[in-house]
Copies of this chain bind each other. A is one copy, B any other.
């Protein structure tokens, strides 16, 4: 069983990598009741620097590389982003005690990408000396935005259908009872009346504002700024003297914070159906495996590196922690944030970083004969 033994050996070695060790360390000290606090402003600037660096890397790489080889991985990234939402729609949403809009929003968050998880994946690849295309970080928005757009569109279509069905039901009730004044569906406030007036337009969810809002979020704007600066200017010296050397260290602090955060959010999961926990454990592996499979197609057809396949799998298994939640809150206001944020932060992210990264790295090493 050469494959399995190679894989297990590798998996254990990776848990000793500082990136994963800081995550686990954060969970342990939070569990032990440590009063350590990393200030909010420090986390903000770390996320900014990590994503700017990933953007700069991508931009500089794209400037120097063959654009055609990026096409297939980008298409696969978009596909995975969309598929993940539909998986949640037809699995999580069908489970008992799970509200359909909550499930769709959770799917959107798990389809969207976590910059920190991606940063951790890139760092582990470097630590393991597995080569990957430098532009793979630029796949981020190609998976992130389609996932959020799909989730918001699917949720709104569902809500509109439900409303139509309910108003049909209530119309039937009305004709039966012949008491129009008592019908439950009349607008109870002027606000609601006005929003009903706009319904004909609202049936077609506007996609552009969702995309625009995603792009304006702090995570994506930092990354796209880095990308643009990498593409159109000569940032090599500031990249080499500042953003690149600081990356790994800043990531270690962020991993610690995410570990502590994950532990402190565990309590929130008690408030929602336990199926969210099951989903959050299994989904990262399934999403990552789909992306890994698609990545293998790109590997055998266009020579996409095994490291690149791992990056695609890691961003698929990650769930958004910064940019996703506010976009979803605005796009699907009726969904319960503690369901999707709890599932993602408390379970999805540690699983993605602590288990999926070593899993897919090990898989690539075993398959690629690394």
Contacts and interface: CB of A to CB of B under 8 A. Distances in A.
A187 interface: no
B242 A246 contact: yes
Contact of A18 (B40, B221, B235): B235
A42 interface: yes
A194 interface: no
Interface in A8-33: 15-19, 21-22, 25, 29, 32-33
B249 A246 contact: yes
A36 B222 CA distance: 7
A238 interface: yes
A36 B48 contact: yes
Interface in A44-92: 44-45, 48-49
Main secondary structure of the interface of A (DSSP, over half): helix
A37 interface: yes
Given A21-B235, A127-B237, A235-B21, A38 B34 contact: no
Interface in A134-161: none
A25 B48 CA distance: 14
Q: How many copies of the shown chain assemble into the complex?
A: 3
Given A241-B248, A249-B243, A44 B35 contact: no
Interface in A199-242: 212, 215-218, 221-222, 225, 228-229, 232-235, 237-239, 241-242
A45 B42 contact: yes
A35 B217 contact: yes
Nearest to A13: B234
A368 interface: no
Interface string A236-270: 01110111011011101100100000000000000
Contacts of A16: 232-234
Contacts of A233: 15-18, 21
Contacts of A253: 45, 48-49
B42 A218 contact: no
Given A17-B233, A249-B246, A25 B225 contact: yes
A259 B283 CA distance: 41
A31 to B, nearest CB: 11
Contact of A41 (B22, B36, B41, B234): B41
Contacts of A215: 32
A39 interface: yes
Nearest to A44: B39
Given A237-B248, A242-B248, A246-B249, A45 B35 contact: no
Contact of A249 (B36, B222, B232, B238): B238
Nearest 5 A-B pairs (CB), nearest first?
A242-B249, A39-B41, A21-B233, A34-B221, A18-B235
